[in-house]
């Protein structure tokens, strides 16, 4: 049992370290009232549970989306980032406006970003769930769900810290869209989906 818990902690940390940055940005946006903190937490849980469910289904031998096209999920954060950038450009100088990149997506937007950023989760969780006994898989999933809360607490502490928010206040309007655009492009490029799409079209 202890070995299973330790392995689950290591696996979660390895596959979700980048989520700390994204969650911190989301909580930073929440300090301006554009996105309630509970929606960040609920969206993160919703997206993560979807990733676990997909991994379990894949471990059972079923494929929902071909692995080579999972990278298209990168369009979700990319679209949210571009939308937020356009809103920021249109509302420059009007700090009282709700100009968060994620505000339009809300809870589902957070869940979508979590899923889009979870291709590595699926690729690593699937073989683990396939080879683990059912009791170990259940323990692993429980540990994952507990650690999602820990991740959210850490990100909330950083993202709502007065020192951090004051330091980032002048660039926050640009930081949020930039993070999501960068994340979207990274997913699209790293997954190789862009090159495969070019090959298909050519």
pTM exceeds 0.75? no
Number of domains comprising the chain: 1
pLDDT value at residue 123: 76
> Residues 35, 100: contact at Cβ < 8 Å?
yes
99: three-class secondary structure by DSSP: coil
How far is residue 192's CA from residue 69's CA, in Å, rounded to a whole number? 9
| Domain around 40 | 2-201
Q: How far is CA 21 from CA 52, 156, 159, in A?
A: 21, 11, 9
pLDDT in tens, 80-102: 778 777 877 776 645 444 445 55
CA angle 181-110-104, nearest 5°? Answer: 75
Digit-coded pLDDT (tens) for 4-23:
899 899 889 888 887 888 88
């Amino acid at each position: 049992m202890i070995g299973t818990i330790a392995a689950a902690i290591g696996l979660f940390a390895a596959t979700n370290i980048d989520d700390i940055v994204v969650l911190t940005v989301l909580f930073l946006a929440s300090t301006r009232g554009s996105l309630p903190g509970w929606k960040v937490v609920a969206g993160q849980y919703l997206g993560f549970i979807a990733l676990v469910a997909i991994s379990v289904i894949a471990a059972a031998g079923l494929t929902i989306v071909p692995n080579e096209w999972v990278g298209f999920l990168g369009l979700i954060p990319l679209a949210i980032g571009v939308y937020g950038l356009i809103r920021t450009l249109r509302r420059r100088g009007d700090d009282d406006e709700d100009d968060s990149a994620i505000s339009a997506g809300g809870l589902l937007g957070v869940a979508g970003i979590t899923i889009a950023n979870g291709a590595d989760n699926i690729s690593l969780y699937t073989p683990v769930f396939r080879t683990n006994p059912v009791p170990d898989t259940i323990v692993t999933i429980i540990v994952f769900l507990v650690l999602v809360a820990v991740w959210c607490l850490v990100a909330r502490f950083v993202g709502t810290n007065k020192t951090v928010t004051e330091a980032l206040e002048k660039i926050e309007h640009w930081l949020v869209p930039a993070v999501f655009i960068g994340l979207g492009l990274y997913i699209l490029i790293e997954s190789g989906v862009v090159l495969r799409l070019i090959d298909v079209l050519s």
